Chains A and B, each alone.
Chain A
């Protein structure tokens, strides 16, 4: 590959520049990225602040969920113990699992990405800092509200995977389950927002020259992690929506008496739930692949194979969901396929483990400091969990161990070894980057050894007690079954682990000093860009990268970066900005102006959370008002977008000029929209799967569809909408005086056509007499129509927004990004509407 974008690579030779930098350049940079004052701390949006808030919130939930674990272990320490009543115990184990998985594990690694990636990639910030802020505040508010339900006896009590029919209204009549369904669905939206930010950030904001083969392994891991979120999380969003629709409106997706099937929930949940394990594991594996070379003082062995292993893990993890369902009576051959895939997934994970061991073996005088201890300890614990994972991948063994404490032991070994211990390694390793003081090595070693011992003492006996027949999720047990001693030992181990966390909290209170002008620096001698001298603007100048380990291989890099001898040594346009580079070769493409702190994303998060929470407590009108306010805040936020700067291009260093505006496939906004639509497409795909699956359970219950004439009209309306939307962009680009108004009207017409197609689809189904609450056929058809209705409503909103932009004079041939993105959205919605109509009318047909 010579050049991906036409950028002349010889221009890189101009760096590092020579001669003195202009006076005042650094001051302007400081001024543009100045620290928030007073209440502005809440409205801060750049990653130095939001990243720290985000990691802090995730660790808060870790501590809270850990306290719940200690309560459970106290209850189980003795047989027939009366410490917790059964209902409270059920709520506690449900909230413990849910909090650990949804409020700690995924957000913690996402937060680590938001905090670390800009510095690691040599960017000033991720491309959508307001989206990061929105994701964080939505997560914090939603998470705290969910957790607090415990204090009112309203917490869910159906286990962290909430299987129906236990969670149907028949067996869970209160609003406890609704807290889970709406709360988790909402929090997943925040996770998806973060994932969009990370994907576009990794692909588009890398330092020039940081080609894919020089991409830090942690960034690779975060990229794959975020892509997996985009593919997996729509499934849980759909599942929670369907179960909530069943509970609130009686649409029988999971009610076998009406043609539904509870197994549909299991398919949808585990299509998300199993990749979730790797979603959690991959970023921390990326962290280990960064930390191990630093402590071994040698490059990572088999970097390229490790990247491939992570990619393979990402793919294979989507082929193992049904290994959680071996006992549900699937066909033998299907269990065989899933069993084979479950064994295969251990190979790429094993490859990474061997790469770490080989790196340590090849290292020059490995330093056994706290990050190294956590890294090595996590390999031991994770490998143990992986081995029992291969055991439960064997169908006959799984039949025996299913729903016993053996599984509890296995999943805790995997999650603690694969996520918690590596996360602590990452915290000890990277904290000096954000704090004026590193954490204490002496206390850190205490934390490690107590945790390492605590894990084994708590969870090793659970394998035995599981094989002795102790089931999961029991609040007590009878004496005389030889379960007493292993349970008592497990409780002691859990408290040892808790003690370790307490010491870590004390250490954090003593030493963590973020947001200062200085940091502790490269304490562990790491080779990545994150260790360059940095301020609130990230790096002083954005370097040209020529190595995978730039600080080891590019002498003088830190000095030249700090002296402003690379790209963007100051502010090229007087405000916040960063470089946007190409996806493969990281060639500079354009200068991205970055937003200043704003309250709108925070208010949007508050009102979105309010919408879901008020809906949960059945305060419908306040919920609607909150939703409308949320939309208003988002529109206010969007209104400031797509405002080109007066200067069309700017000097980004060494006389290289780049444009300050971009649209179409080369722009970051286009990428974000495509990823957002991929989420929509995945929900549609899972909805279609639900439709076909429920048909396969009970084909006799399926009613004939409406006539094909209506299908032709729906498809034609949607095709017309797509053509109009694209036509609007072409008209706008003509640049004629009336182009803006014609383009805006074409967008409105396209929106009207989409709505017409949706209305015809809905009405023709209503004419057949099929209703959503009658049977599973009706429920799935109306579920697809509802999903299209949601998109159609957004299209209407966008049409009105396009008109408002035109009325305010914000539409012209030189600023087409808004219309390009709206057209993309409308074209997708039109395609989705046509697909839904085709599926429900042609399959299985009349």
Chain B
């Protein structure tokens, strides 16, 4: 299960980011107004954390890939993790743009 979680880590971070920004906006809508600047800053800060986490996951996956003794399906799963984390990073940046 840990290997599956690592393979999907980037996409999981992206999903957590999406649910997080939706939750922050919904909470803001209850407390005050979702479009207020402090809440937008909250979204951006959360996005920064998620983006860094995705990058971190990508770096770990790339380092694992650099090891030459990788056999299948380990190599396959690390490739998935690395590219998935890269995609997640881009998706998080894209997803945060409405908060700017």
Contact = CB atoms under 8 A, between A and B. Distances in A.
Interface of A: 1-2, 211-214, 304-305, 307-308, 311-312, 315-316, 318-319, 322, 331-334, 336-337, 339-341, 344, 583-585, 696, 699
Contacts of A331: 25-26, 28-29, 33-35
A584 B3 contact: yes
Given A332-B35, A333-B35, A341-B95, A213 B72 contact: yes
A311 B40 contact: no
Contacts of B22: 319, 322, 334, 337
A312 B71 contact: no
Contact of B34 (A1, A211, A332, A585): A332
5 contacts: A211-B76, A316-B91, A331-B35, A337-B18, A696-B26
A311 B95 contact: no
Contact of A337 (B21, B33, B35): B21
A304 B98 contact: no
Q: Pick the 6 closest A-B CB pairs, nearest first.
A: A336-B98, A331-B34, A213-B76, A1-B74, A211-B73, A319-B18
Given A319-B15, A334-B22, A337-B18, A312 B29 contact: no
A339 B98 contact: yes
Given A304-B76, A311-B11, A344 B84 contact: no
Residue in B19, B80, B84 whose Cβ sees the most chain A Cβ within 10 Å: B80
B95 A312 contact: no
B91 A344 contact: yes
A315 B11 contact: yes
A212 B18 contact: no
Given A312-B84, A584-B73, 9 more contacts: A212-B76, A213-B75, A304-B79, A308-B83, A308-B87, A319-B22, A337-B98, A340-B94, A344-B94
Contacts of B76: 211-213, 304
B89 interface: no
Contact of A212 (B15, B40, B73, B84): B73
Contacts of A340: 94-95, 97-98
A96 to B, nearest CB: 33
B14 A315 contact: yes
Contacts of B39: 333
A761 B5 CA distance: 35
B30 A307 contact: no
Interface of B: 3-4, 8, 11-12, 14-15, 18-19, 21-22, 25-26, 28-30, 33-35, 39-40, 43, 70-77, 79-80, 83-84, 87, 91, 94-95, 97-99
Given A331-B35, A333-B98, A344-B91, A311 B8 contact: yes
A305 B79 CA distance: 10
A334 B97 contact: no
Given A334-B26, A337-B21, A318 B15 contact: yes
A319 B91 CA distance: 12
Looking at chain A's contact residues, the main secondary structure is helix
B26 to A, nearest CB: 7
Chain B contact surface mostly: helix
Contacts of B83: 304-305, 308
Nearest to B27: A696
B99 to A, nearest CB: 6
A339 B98 CA distance: 9
A337 B34 contact: no
B76 to A, nearest CB: 4
B72 A315 contact: no
A334 B15 contact: no
Contacts of B95: 337, 340-341, 344
Contacts of B73: 1, 211-213, 584-585
Contacts of A696: 26, 29-30
Contacts of B84: 308, 311-312
Contacts of A214: 72
A293 B91 CA distance: 30
B50 to A, nearest CB: 13
Most buried by A among B3, B25, B79, B84: B25
A340 B22 CA distance: 12
Nearest to A584: B73
Give the interface centre of B15, B40, B98 by most chain A CB atoms within 10 Å.
Answer: B98
A696 to B, nearest CB: 5
Nearest to A314: B11
A331 B24 CA distance: 11
A334 B91 contact: no
A213 B76 CA distance: 6
Contacts of B72: 1, 211-214
A331 B27 CA distance: 11
A696 B39 CA distance: 17
B81 to A, nearest CB: 10
A692 B15 CA distance: 20
Contacts of B99: 333, 336
Contacts of A334: 22, 25-26, 29, 34
A2 B71 CA distance: 7
A340 B97 CA distance: 8
B11 to A, nearest CB: 4
A315 B28 CA distance: 25
A684 B48 CA distance: 30
A661 to B, nearest CB: 23
Contacts of A1: 70-74
A311 B97 CA distance: 23
A341 B29 CA distance: 20
B71 to A, nearest CB: 5
Contacts of A344: 91, 94-95
B46 to A, nearest CB: 12
Contacts of B15: 315, 318-319
A316 to B, nearest CB: 7
A2 B72 CA distance: 9
Nearest to A210: B73
A646 B47 CA distance: 58
A311 B87 CA distance: 11
Contacts of B91: 316, 344
B18 A304 contact: no
A319 B94 CA distance: 13
A1 B95 CA distance: 35
Contacts of A211: 72-73, 76
Nearest to B86: A308
A351 B26 CA distance: 32
Nearest to B31: A696
Contacts of A213: 72-73, 75-76
A745 B74 CA distance: 44
A307 B70 CA distance: 20
Nearest to B29: A331
A48 B62 CA distance: 43
B43 to A, nearest CB: 8
A213 B7 CA distance: 13
